[in-house]
Chains A and B, each alone.
Chain A
């Protein structure tokens, strides 16, 4: 309990809110790594998920691979990639992408497949092309599920992005590693609290977005 109060005092110290290693900069870096990781993962997982979900091809294979990828230990990946790529942002970013893909892929496939087959058939009977069916029927109907995939991936990456600091980057992980190494536990706890707060903010924002994108009359989320 004492350390919790000390961590709050650390957070309240104005000295920790300015400069290149101040909380605003570190939070921005942390958020940047998260967004970048999820974005790159989405560029890979969303098109693949749309294809797999719409055609039914590769769906079980990609889900199985994605499931297996969830078991990869991220710290191990960061170390492995950093030995290959050197220190810097490349190695942790690659690990975050691998971490984010399973949720995004599963979310996208589920989103496309959630559309009622009768609705899809009706669209096809009206003469819609397959691309139109995907873009005008399946994606809008499944949007809350797709956002749900983004939400899961984001929360995972934001909670893991502290590992960027393991190999020479910034982010809120710097407070955790410095606190751990220098036995400055209030600082370590403060870093953790900031990450928790950031994760909650992102989670709630995406939840809100999920609600807002639900088509009228459909409550898929």
Chain B
């Protein structure tokens, strides 16, 4: 408990400091630099240490590496702390300032702070995040690339029942099952949401590998008609799967969005912004494919992509 309240206190101090510096985002509040270098690490210097984290998810690490390399090209010193696990672990690290940047996803990040948050457009979620994040943390712009839950089926099944949207499932006669992690059952876009918004009855077959190979296999084997596969997964194209459209925005948008502390100054924000505006949905799938299929390292994947796009 003592550690916790100390952290709160530190956060409060940082927040107050941030306010005093005013709206112009300066890089002075990195707690590692706090003692002596606060003044020296102002935007112009560009040498403030930036600690970049990533989730324990290969795709997230690749995105983190894109930011790391583009920042290094701008002359920033970057420390990498990848594969940190879940939000419960890394959010406190960001709040304490031990991490200064981590690529997150719009909807899930908002739900971390507001579990009752309802689905909305990416722009609305982004605006809501501005309100929900604690002082000292902010989100930068979001990328077109997203990695979100989906109602995905095989191209055969889609053709047989002429499916393009989730709502089209209402016309399918047979009982529908979806392979997904068990929490899908209680998500707003789970069976209840599908019933309420699209009038579709579907029951969950829990397969706990987060849309991984077992989930894909269950769909291909015909054990289920649908699967929750993350939209940036290269397995979708590889197995010729069809992601059913969601015209009512039932599923939370999960566009890539960096969550940062005040250690990210204007120059760093601009550098990260070049990656964000270039990163399309197809780009993210291709980056993931290079990791899953070609087994390339995240550093190689990132540097190839950045030079291809002319960003470094």
Q: Is the interface of A mostly helix, strand, loop or mixed?
A: helix
Interface string of B203-234 (1 = CB under 8 A from A): 00111110001100110010100000000000
Bound Cα distance A94, B25 (Å):
58
> Which residues of A are at the interface with B, using a C-beta cutoff of 8 A?
79, 82-83, 86-88, 165-168, 174, 177-178, 181-183
By size class, the interface of chain B is 10 to 19
Bound Cα distance A183, B183 (Å):
9
Given the complex, which residues of A lie within 8 Å of B208, measured CB to CB?
165-167, 177, 181
Contact assessment for A177 and B181 in the assembled complex, using a CB-CB cutoff below 8 Å: yes
Contact assessment for B183 and A168 in the assembled complex, using a CB-CB cutoff below 8 Å: no
Bound Cα distance A178, B88 (Å):
16
Interface string of B169-207 (1 = CB under 8 A from A): 000000000010111011000000000000000000111
> Which residues of B are at the interface with A, using a C-beta cutoff of 8 A?
88, 179, 181-183, 185-186, 205-209, 213-214, 217-218, 221, 223
Contact assessment for B206 and A86 in the assembled complex, using a CB-CB cutoff below 8 Å: no
Given contacts A83-B213, A177-B181, contact A168 B186 (CB under 8 A): no
Bound Cα distance A168, B206 (Å):
5
Bound Cα distance A79, B88 (Å):
26
- Contact with A168, one of B88, B185, B205, B213 (Cβ below 8 angstroms): B205
Given contacts A168-B206, A168-B223, contact A87 B218 (CB under 8 A): yes
Bound Cα distance A88, B205 (Å):
10
Contact assessment for B223 and A87 in the assembled complex, using a CB-CB cutoff below 8 Å: yes
Given the complex, which residues of B lie within 8 Å of A183, measured CB to CB?
88
Contact assessment for A86 and B183 in the assembled complex, using a CB-CB cutoff below 8 Å: no
Contact assessment for B209 and A166 in the assembled complex, using a CB-CB cutoff below 8 Å: yes
Bound Cα distance A83, B218 (Å):
9
Contact assessment for A182 and B218 in the assembled complex, using a CB-CB cutoff below 8 Å: no
Contact assessment for B186 and A87 in the assembled complex, using a CB-CB cutoff below 8 Å: no
- Contact with B214, one of A167, A174, A178 (Cβ below 8 angstroms): A167
Given the complex, which residues of A lie within 8 Å of B214, measured CB to CB?
79, 82-83, 87, 167
Contact assessment for B218 and A181 in the assembled complex, using a CB-CB cutoff below 8 Å: no
Contact assessment for B183 and A87 in the assembled complex, using a CB-CB cutoff below 8 Å: no
Which of A82, A88, A166, A168 gathers the greatest number of chain B CB atoms within 10 Å? A168
Closest 3 A/B residue pairs (Cβ): A181-B183, A182-B183, A178-B182
The chain B residue sitting closest to A168, CB to CB, is: B205
Given the complex, which residues of B lie within 8 Å of A87, measured CB to CB?
179, 205, 207, 214, 217-218, 221, 223
Given the complex, which residues of A lie within 8 Å of B221, measured CB to CB?
86-87
A-B contact pairs, 5 of them (CB 8 A): A83-B213, A83-B217, A86-B218, A166-B207, A174-B182
Given the complex, which residues of A lie within 8 Å of B181, measured CB to CB?
177, 181
Given the complex, which residues of B lie within 8 Å of A177, measured CB to CB?
181-182, 206, 208
